[in-house]
Amino acid sequence: MNGSQPRALVLDFGGVVTKTLFETHALTEQALGLVPGTLTWRGPFDVASDPLWRSMQADAISERDYWKARTREVGQLVGEDWSEMRTFVQRARGADPEAVVRPEADRSIRIARDAGIRLAILSNELDLFYGTEFRTRLPLLRLFETIVDATYTKILKPDPRAYHAVCAELGLPASACVFVDDQKRNVDGAIRAGMPTVHFDVANPAKSYADALTRVGIHL
The pTM score is 0.89
Q: State the pLDDT confidence band at 2, using cuts at 50, 70 and 90.
A: very low
Task: Answer whether 180's CB lies under 8 Å from 214's CB.
Answer: no
Q: Could you give all domains of the chain from N- to C-terminal order, each with its CATH number? A: 8-18+101-215 (3.40.50.1000), 25-97 (no CATH)
Going by C-beta distance under 8 Å and a sequence separation of 6 or more, which residues neighbour residue 50? 41, 42, 43
Separation CA 59–CA 104 (nearest Å): 30
Task: Answer whether 143's CB lies under 8 Å from 109's CB.
Answer: yes
Task: Write the burial class of residue 14 (CB in 10 Å: 0-12 exposed, 13-18 middle, 19+ buried).
Answer: buried
In tens, the pLDDT along 149-173 reads 999 999 999 999 999 999 999 999 9
Q: What angle do CA 184, 190, 193 make, to 5 degrees?
A: 145
In tens, the pLDDT along 9-64 reads 999 999 999 999 999 999 899 999 999 999 999 999 999 989 999 999 898 998 88
pLDDT of residue 95: 60
Q: State the pLDDT confidence band at 3, using cuts at 50, 70 and 90.
A: very low
In tens, the pLDDT along 75-106 reads 999 999 999 888 999 898 866 778 889 999 99
CB atoms within 10 A of CB 190: 28
Q: Name the strand (E) or helix (H) holding 164.
A: helix 160-170
Separation CA 27–CA 33 (nearest Å): 10
Q: Residue 4: is its pLDDT beyond 70?
A: no
Q: Residue 125: is its pLDDT beyond 50?
A: yes
Residues listed for the chain: 220
pLDDT of residue 1: 43
